[in-house]
Structure 1
Amino acid sequence: MGKRAGGKSILANFGSFSQPDTAVPDVPGADAGPMVAQPLARVGAGVIGATQRSLTELREERDRLKALVDAGGGVDIDPKLIDPSPFPDRLPDDDDLEFAALKTLISEEGQKVPIQVRRHPSHEGRYQVVYGHRRWRAASDLGIKVKATVLALSDVELVVAQGIENAARQDLSWVERALFAKRMDDAGIRSRDVRAALSVDDPELARFRAVSRALPVEIIEAIGRAPKVGRPRWTALADAIGNDTSALDRVRKALSDDKVSALPSDERFKAALAAVTPPVARPRREMKLRSPAGRVVGKAMFSNDDVRLSVASGHGQAFSDFLEGELPGLMERFFAREGEA
């Protein structure tokens, strides 16, 4: 996307507040009237300009705007009028304990920090979240209005602002960042703006893209955030699926198992990786079979492919008859342990 009409830079737009049908309140103690961001120097060529410098300026501007907001800015909006960001950057958490705690806090003490929204580009009277999705959800669940600050942002500016906020919190998992990059690519966001939003270089962006292209979105979503799983193992899973046409079906089957789907996301990832990882061949193992008195009467040999038993001739026929009668019960116990009827 090119520059916005009028040539405003990201910094100018990021500091351009608008409020829905209400005046912006004065900031207590401010010397210069209402809460309006002061003009900043234009960024160099293009929307991002000198990437490192502009990102630093954006972070400083975000912190300055937050200070103004904390001093009393923001307006109350019905959560029903707000939609999520068009560029989702989060996968569901394994549990809702933290979200429940946030709702309790807002219910008891009120919303301390406004969320950031922009006016919906195609639906009059509606808004889209820039960041603050959890506070918006909490207000919606509680049936109360959400305090919000309305920013004038293009799609490019939205993803950059969203990415900066996530980088500040540093709580997106590796695969969430890869999925965020894919969604920006799908929306036609330019590579340099994707890099700016994620604060990554070309090689890391290439790895995000390789993984998100090899793994269908529904597989990533079925696994989840997997916060303890980093780039090497996600890359290994993507490579395994890319090199084996049947691997994707095995991963789908593993993730569809009720026991696996009930596990935390890091464990779901392990199940998916195990489904495409060839079993490690173990050496043949031997066990001596002893009588209650400790006398060796035979041996059992185990390998990945078979089990062999041999018993001394004095017990061979009797043990064979005994084992034949016990095997059906052993098989039932084995499959019950494996979770099969």
Structure 2
Amino acid sequence: MGAHMNSPKQRNDRMRHLFGNVDATELAKHLPSPAVQERKVSSGAVKSMDRAFVSIEEDNERLREQLVNAEAVVELEATHVVPSFVKDRLDLEGDPQFTVFVEALREAGQKLPILVRPLANKPGYYQVAYGHRRLRACQILGRRVKAIVRDLSDKELIIAQGVENTERANLSFIEQAFFALTLREKGFDRETIATALGRAEGQNLVYISMLTSVASALPHDLVRKIGPAPSVGRPKWEKLGSYFHDQKLATESGVNIERITSTGEWHSATSDEKFALLFNALTRKAVGTTGVEEIDLGGGLSISVKRTGRQTQLSIAEFKEPGLATWLLRKLPQLVQEFRDVTKEEKDSMG
């Protein structure tokens, strides 16, 4: 590519390459003859021109490579795109943050494309690997969806789906658990599931087994009613699962789940609050056998309460909320006085 362009044939070849449909012979008529040019142009100028042509050709080659390797973003009819064959979110449109997301997309437009694969049995239709929220928002807004189309196997699709969720850290513990369980039920091995969840190293295969164990213990309909509960981690979901046998609540629990989930309080509660309502109801009923009640305070914090005939003991996991116990002790005299004042007012009002 670095040879000098001294012969007429070389110049014609270069001109044809650069100018495409322009007639190089006709163009050459308007250029100085090689002999004249060689007399007027120094060898240094010729070398500079050579380098310029070489640079242009190298840039063009790089551009061609980029065009070959790049995945074009296309716009598809949002109604022609279906969800992944594995659901990774428990509740999309019931999430208040999704409403905010839709409005943001309405105002600013779709910034990132989704990833889809063509549906082999339905020409013109596609299936999402990742970008379910963006797709649903575009469907709600009646807009076309920006997408990258890629041929993906089932395994490649669920790995892409899981890895994107892991990188964004936007699946709650129980959503990860049900995602893992669904993949296992569809025949994927633990290694593939671990890769999809970004946990393919070391002891993380054990973590996958733990996820599927927790999800298997819980009634699926009940978990869907609770929702993702983003602040609730593994210990409490495991504890909740311990009240069930073969996904059915033990009869001795004495808790009517249908009654709890049909109240106005339940329907107006957030997902975390719904978990707390059910969890607290079950743990209060369990006090008779364990003597200890767990009261969920949200944000991953709970207080253990042990009541006897003569006293009540409160226990706080100090490591979960450092300084809380000290703060409560300082506030205790004030709280006691407030309790006494309220009690006195109630007595006075009763005459």
> What is the TM-score when the length of structure 2 is the normalising length?
0.58
Distance of 2:154 and 2:164 partners within structure 1: 15
One-letter amino acid matched to 1:212: A
Establish whether residue 268 from structure 1 lines up as the match of residue 283 from structure 2: no
8 Å Cα contact 1:250-1:276 kept in structure 2: no
Establish whether residue 175 from structure 1 lines up as the match of residue 212 from structure 2: no
> What's 1:146 paired with?
145
Distance of 1:237 and 1:97 partners within structure 2: 25
Match for residue 243 of structure 2 among 240, 244, 264? 240
Listed as ranges, the matches of 1:1-341 within 5 Å are 31-33=63-65, 35-37=67-69, 73-92=72-91, 97-200=96-199, 201-242=204-245, 245-246=250-251, 247=253, 250-277=256-283, 278-279=286-287, 280=292, 282-284=307-309
In structure 2, stretches of 5+ residues that fail to align are: 1-59, 293-305, 312-349
Q: How far off is 1:134 after superposition?
A: 1.3
Distance of 2:235 and 2:222 partners within structure 1: 17
Distance of 1:29 and 1:148 partners within structure 2: 27
**Structure 1's 191 and 148: CA in aligned 2 closer, same or farther, altered over 3 A?**
same
Off by >6 Å, runs of 4+ in structure 1 = none
**Structure 1's 112 and 95: CA in aligned 2 closer, same or farther, altered over 3 A?**
same
> What is the TM-score when the length of structure 1 is the normalising length?
0.60
In structure 1, stretches of 5+ residues that fail to align are: 1-27, 38-67, 287-329, 331-341
One-letter amino acid matched to 1:74: V
Distance of 2:232 and 2:61 partners within structure 1: 47
Distance of 2:273 and 2:164 partners within structure 1: 28
> What's 2:18 paired with?
none
**Residues 160-169 or 242-251, more deviating:** 242-251
Distance of 1:265 and 1:273 partners within structure 2: 12
Q: How far off is 1:102 after superposition?
A: 3.2
8 Å Cα contact 1:241-1:248 kept in structure 2: no
Q: How far off is 1:30 after superposition?
A: 5.4
Distance of 2:129 and 2:254 partners within structure 1: 34
8 Å Cα contact 1:174-1:227 kept in structure 2: yes
Q: How far off is 1:178 after superposition?
A: 0.3
Task: Considering Cα pairs closer than 8 Å and 6+ residues apart, tell me whether 1 or 2 has the greater RCO.
Answer: 1
Structure with larger Rg: 2
Q: How far off is 1:248 after superposition?
A: 9.8
Distance of 2:107 and 2:93 partners within structure 1: 25
User: Number of paired residues?
Assistant: 227
Q: Give the CA RMSD over aligned residues.
A: 2.8
One-letter amino acid matched to 1:224: G
**Structure 1's 259 and 249: CA in aligned 2 closer, same or farther, altered over 3 A?**
same
Identity rate of aligned residues, in percent? 34
Q: How far off is 1:96 after superposition?
A: 5.0
Relative to its length, the structure with more helix (as a share) is 2
Q: How far off is 1:105 after superposition?
A: 3.5
8 Å Cα contact 1:174-1:231 kept in structure 2: yes
Distance of 1:93 and 1:163 partners within structure 2: 16
Distance of 1:159 and 1:249 partners within structure 2: 38
> What's 2:334 paired with?
none
Q: How far off is 1:95 after superposition?
A: 5.8
Post-superposition CA distance 1:143-171 (Å, at most 9, x none): 12111111111111111111110111011
**Structure 1's 35 and 184: CA in aligned 2 closer, same or farther, altered over 3 A?**
farther
Distance of 1:75 and 1:248 partners within structure 2: 56
**Structure 1's 263 and 157: CA in aligned 2 closer, same or farther, altered over 3 A?**
same
8 Å Cα contact 1:85-1:130 kept in structure 2: yes
**Structure 1's 105 and 226: CA in aligned 2 closer, same or farther, altered over 3 A?**
closer
One-letter amino acid matched to 2:157: L
Distance of 2:256 and 2:152 partners within structure 1: 43
